[in-house]
Chains A and B, each alone.
Chain A
Amino acid sequence: MNDSSPIKQQAATAKIQTKRPFSIVWIVPLVALVIGGWLAYKAISEKGPVITITFSTADGLEAGKTKIKYREVDIGQVETIALNNDVSKVVVTAKMIKGSERYLTDQTKFWVVRPRVSGSSVSGLSTMLSGAYIGIDGSDKGAPTLAFTGLEVPPVVTVGQPGRHFILKADMLGSLDVGAPLYYRQIQVGQVVSYNFDDSGKAVDIKIFIEAPHHAKVTETTRFWNASGVDVTLNAQGLKVDTQSMVSIVSGGIAFDNVPKDAPPGDEAKENETFLLYAGEDAIHEKKYSVRNYWILLFNESVRGLSVGAPVELYGIKIGEVVDLNLEFDLEKKKFQVPVIIAIEPERISSAKKEEALEAAKKDPRALIQELVEKQGLRAQLQSGNLLTGQLMINMTFVPDAPKTTLSSYAGYRVVPTVPGSFEKLQESLSKIITNLEKVQFDQIGTELHQVLKETKTTVAGIGDFTKQMNNETSPQLQSTLIELQKTLVEVQKGMGANSPLNYHTTKSLEELSMTLRSLRELTDTLNKQPQAILFGKEKKADE
């Protein structure tokens, strides 16, 4: 073509135009690159660690949906949920936000937040609608890790909460549970965090947490006791009900206090210090007495109702307790007896010179007691502590007129003489009454009574027959008689009524009679005045 060369020239010039150093349109991909780069940077910079948590069940968890929340703030999301190799656990993989590495250590705890209702609290109600989420309790103490084992129940105390942990040793867990309250003077100051067997497996270690500032109340003199539920004690001293609060009734609880209360508190207890958990508040006070003197009492009567731990009282105040009792047979005397070992705690008794008295009691209790027994007649007797349950206790009493005796020795213990207990006396008199009652010939009385009753029966039968006869024979006649009598009476009423002829005639007759009587009176009057008139007739008057 001829025109091709000039057109090619034209095209060449057009190409010059395209050779502009920079086309403005490249701004578009540049902007896109900047945005894309920024997004990529943001994504990479915000990328947090990926962790795995092992749970026993994935109940309520959903891959790609379930969040990991710390104090209700999303800090992660579950990516996948899978079973582990031996299909016994669920492995949850979760993506955490950036900056959470610090808190992901082997101290960090994970648990699934679901609606929970326990004896003392209701939690996680919001998850009923929104679905479960994974709670985390982060701790920056410990070795960093990315694999965790999830807890089945939420931890009671969050890491970093100010306060102190202590360990209580107990024989049994009782009704305590994780989250069980801890009371100091009936104010809740802490909780049970966990429990476990101790290393020997013979006792239980209960880990507790006491919130700040109350943890300072726990000192070396502090004693913990189980305040679970309702403490009902029924002993010689009666029925005793003791409880801390309604919550502790349901879910158990622990109380603590300094013992003795007025003593200066010792040094503050350190973190994870171990204490004994006493069975009850009384158990603490029991242990306070260090001096114990053992005595033996020999009883020749039934000690039914007396048990180990029964109080020994003097003037109604407990001074000791029964330690041991058994039945013994004296081969030589052919006699049974019950030796009862008692422990007297002299520290329970206060004295004007307390220290000296205590010293004396500690050193030589024998001399003191001997004097009391010999000069003042100190005796031990069984006494009914509780009539309802029949519990017995030992009562120390002074019997001045008791036969003189002295302290003897028996099986290595010194014997305090005994007198029959008040209950025993009562029993004796009762048995006397019973013996007398036995003398009465109840058999004979019974036979005679039976005879009397028999006779009475025949008499009553005769009366019955007579009554029957009366009913059958006399009654109809009596009835007809009565009817006739009624008729007669009616007639009588008729005959004697106001308009009856009898009445009329009677009235008439009476009138005539009265007239007759009047004329008779006139006659008598006349005869009175003129007796001659009977002969000469009535004297005629002048005017007549």
Chain B
Amino acid sequence: MNESAATARTLGLIACHDCRLLIEAIQVREHPHCPRCGAHLHPRKPNSLTRTWALVWAAIIFIIPANVLPMTITSTLGAKQADTIISGVIYFMQTGSWEIASVIFIASVFVPFCKLVILIFLLLSVQFRSRWRPKDRTTLYRLTELVGRWSMVDIYVVTILVALVKLGAIVSIEAGPAAVYFAAVVVTTMFAAESFDPRLIWDVIEEDV
């Protein structure tokens, strides 16, 4: 890493978030808008830590009902069966569909939990001004952002099943209440990842130089 390289902040400049125009930092006070594209100007994402924390907390709360409540309610010949995410995974495992089970497990259980853990780790590391492997932490952040949207696979699967399997009294699938909470988890974690400013990881190191 080239630690001596100039950054926008060291040069007293602010890069516009949208059009990347460099603006003098002094101007920000009076004109918080980008003169070129009109976007709000901040040296770093405003309240990044607070916002991320808030959203992470929301996601932590939402992830509980998402996993406890039933995701799908299958009624076969009048017999209703409610399945949570985990019970669905176990069902596929027991019936020998390891591939489907692993896909559902990774997309619906592993990824959301990982994302939350990574975000909490990043937040804590920034808050405690950690200098530990900043590059790896940035990689983790990129991973979180990249993989976030794929968690919606489960929601898609449920919506498609609900739409397709409608054979009246013989068999039908309904979305359970967990679907809403699961979607909320995915959305809040995505926003949390979005509101986290990875430059904060580097600011500490920059200050040391």
Residues from chain B with a CB closer than 8 A to the CB of A29 are 54-58, 61
CB-based contact A130/B54 at 8 Å: no
Identify 18 residue pairs between A and B in the complex whose beta-carbon atoms are under 8 Å apart, listed by A's number. Answer: A3-B10, A7-B10, A10-B25, A18-B50, A23-B54, A25-B50, A25-B51, A28-B55, A28-B58, A29-B61, A31-B58, A32-B58, A32-B61, A35-B61, A35-B62, A36-B61, A39-B69, A131-B79
Q: Does A65 contact B (CB under 8 A)?
A: yes
Residues from chain A with a CB closer than 8 A to the CB of B10 are 1, 3-4, 7
> Other CB < 8 Å A-B pairs besides A64-B81, A130-B77, 13 of them?
A3-B12, A7-B12, A10-B12, A10-B25, A11-B43, A18-B47, A18-B50, A25-B47, A26-B50, A29-B56, A32-B188, A35-B65, A130-B78
CB distance from B91 to the nearest CB of A (A): 10
Q: Does B164 contact A (CB under 8 A)?
A: no
Q: Does A17 contact B (CB under 8 A)?
A: yes
Residues from chain B with a CB closer than 8 A to the CB of A35 are 61-62, 65, 181
Residues from chain A with a CB closer than 8 A to the CB of B44 are 14
The contact of B9 among A7, A25, A32, by CB within 8 Å, is A7
CB-based contact A25/B55 at 8 Å: yes
CB distance from B79 to the nearest CB of A (A): 5
Q: Does B46 contact A (CB under 8 A)?
A: yes
Residues from chain A with a CB closer than 8 A to the CB of B93 are none
Q: Which single residue of chain B is at the shortest CB-CB distance from A130?
A: B78
How long is the Cα–Cα vector from A10 to B107 in the complex, in angstroms? 43
Residues from chain B with a CB closer than 8 A to the CB of A1 are 10
Interface residues on B, range: 35 or more
Q: Does B160 contact A (CB under 8 A)?
A: no
- Residues of A in contact (CB 8 Å), total 31
How long is the Cα–Cα vector from A178 to B40 in the complex, in angstroms? 84
The contact of A23 among B43, B47, B61, by CB within 8 Å, is B47
CB distance from A186 to the nearest CB of B (A): 39
Q: Does A316 contact B (CB under 8 A)?
A: no
CB-based contact A23/B51 at 8 Å: yes
The contact of A26 among B42, B54, B64, B181, by CB within 8 Å, is B54
The contact of B54 among A20, A25, A65, by CB within 8 Å, is A25
How long is the Cα–Cα vector from A25 to B47 in the complex, in angstroms? 9
How long is the Cα–Cα vector from A4 to B207 in the complex, in angstroms? 10
Type the 1/0 row for A116-140, where 1 means its CB is closer than 8 Å to any CB of B: 0000000000100111000000000
How long is the Cα–Cα vector from A180 to B70 in the complex, in angstroms? 45
Type the 1/0 row for A1-24, where 1 means its CB is closer than 8 Å to any CB of B: 101101100110110011010010
Type the 1/0 row for B166-190, where 1 means its CB is closer than 8 Å to any CB of A: 0000000000000001001000100
Q: Does B11 contact A (CB under 8 A)?
A: yes
Residues from chain B with a CB closer than 8 A to the CB of A39 are 65, 69
7 closest cross-chain pairs (CB), A and B: A29-B57, A32-B58, A29-B58, A130-B78, A32-B61, A36-B61, A25-B51
Which one of B10, B56, B58 has the highest number of Cβ atoms from chain A below 10 Å of its Cβ?
Answer: B58
Residues from chain B with a CB closer than 8 A to the CB of A7 are 9-10, 12, 25
Type the 1/0 row for B22-36, where 1 means its CB is closer than 8 Å to any CB of A: 000110110000000
Q: Does A33 contact B (CB under 8 A)?
A: yes
Q: Which single residue of chain A is at the shortest CB-CB distance from B177?
A: A39
Which one of A25, A31, A33 has the highest number of Cβ atoms from chain B below 10 Å of its Cβ?
Answer: A25
The contact of A36 among B65, B77, B78, by CB within 8 Å, is B65
How long is the Cα–Cα vector from A29 to B185 in the complex, in angstroms? 11
How long is the Cα–Cα vector from A65 to B87 in the complex, in angstroms? 13
Residues from chain A with a CB closer than 8 A to the CB of B56 are 29
Q: Which single residue of chain B is at the shortest CB-CB distance from A43?
A: B68
CB-based contact B77/A28 at 8 Å: no
Type the 1/0 row for B134-149, where 1 means its CB is closer than 8 Å to any CB of A: 0000000000000000
CB-based contact A129/B78 at 8 Å: yes
Residues from chain B with a CB closer than 8 A to the CB of A33 are 57-58, 61
- CB within 8 Å of A: which B50-98 residues: 50-51, 54-59, 61-62, 64-65, 68-69, 77-79, 81, 87
Residues from chain B with a CB closer than 8 A to the CB of A27 are 54
- CB within 8 Å of B: which A18-70 residues: 18, 20, 23, 25-29, 31-33, 35-36, 39, 43, 64-65
CB distance from B77 to the nearest CB of A (A): 5
How long is the Cα–Cα vector from A101 to B145 in the complex, in angstroms? 50
Q: Which single residue of chain B is at the shortest CB-CB distance from A20?
A: B47
CB distance from A457 to the nearest CB of B (A): 90
Residues from chain B with a CB closer than 8 A to the CB of A26 are 50, 54
CB distance from B14 to the nearest CB of A (A): 9
How long is the Cα–Cα vector from A137 to B57 in the complex, in angstroms? 46
How long is the Cα–Cα vector from A32 to B56 in the complex, in angstroms? 11
Residues from chain B with a CB closer than 8 A to the CB of A31 are 58
CB distance from A471 to the nearest CB of B (A): 93
The contact of B64 among A13, A36, A131, by CB within 8 Å, is A36
CB distance from B89 to the nearest CB of A (A): 15
How long is the Cα–Cα vector from A35 to B181 in the complex, in angstroms? 10
Q: Which single residue of chain A is at the shortest CB-CB distance from B62?
A: A32
The contact of B79 among A13, A32, A130, by CB within 8 Å, is A130
How long is the Cα–Cα vector from A65 to B26 in the complex, in angstroms? 67
CB distance from B12 to the nearest CB of A (A): 5
CB distance from B43 to the nearest CB of A (A): 6
Residues from chain B with a CB closer than 8 A to the CB of A3 are 10-12
Residues from chain A with a CB closer than 8 A to the CB of B12 are 3, 6-7, 10
CB-based contact A10/B50 at 8 Å: no
Residues from chain A with a CB closer than 8 A to the CB of B57 are 29, 32-33
How long is the Cα–Cα vector from A450 to B11 in the complex, in angstroms? 159
How long is the Cα–Cα vector from A23 to B79 in the complex, in angstroms? 48
- CB within 8 Å of A: which B125-141 residues: none
Residues from chain A with a CB closer than 8 A to the CB of B29 are 13
How long is the Cα–Cα vector from A500 to B25 in the complex, in angstroms? 172
Residues from chain B with a CB closer than 8 A to the CB of A14 are 42-44
CB distance from B98 to the nearest CB of A (A): 22
Residues from chain B with a CB closer than 8 A to the CB of A17 are 46
Q: Which single residue of chain A is at the shortest CB-CB distance from B42?
A: A14
How long is the Cα–Cα vector from A20 to B50 in the complex, in angstroms? 11
How long is the Cα–Cα vector from A33 to B54 in the complex, in angstroms? 11
Q: Which single residue of chain A is at the shortest CB-CB distance from B184?
A: A32
Residues from chain B with a CB closer than 8 A to the CB of A28 are 54-55, 58, 188
Residues from chain B with a CB closer than 8 A to the CB of A36 are 61-62, 64-65
Residues from chain A with a CB closer than 8 A to the CB of B42 are 14
Q: Which single residue of chain B is at the shortest CB-CB distance from A133?
A: B79
CB distance from A519 to the nearest CB of B (A): 133
Q: Which single residue of chain B is at the shortest CB-CB distance from A10?
A: B25
CB distance from B86 to the nearest CB of A (A): 13
How long is the Cα–Cα vector from A36 to B29 in the complex, in angstroms? 40
CB distance from A15 to the nearest CB of B (A): 11
CB-based contact B54/A10 at 8 Å: no
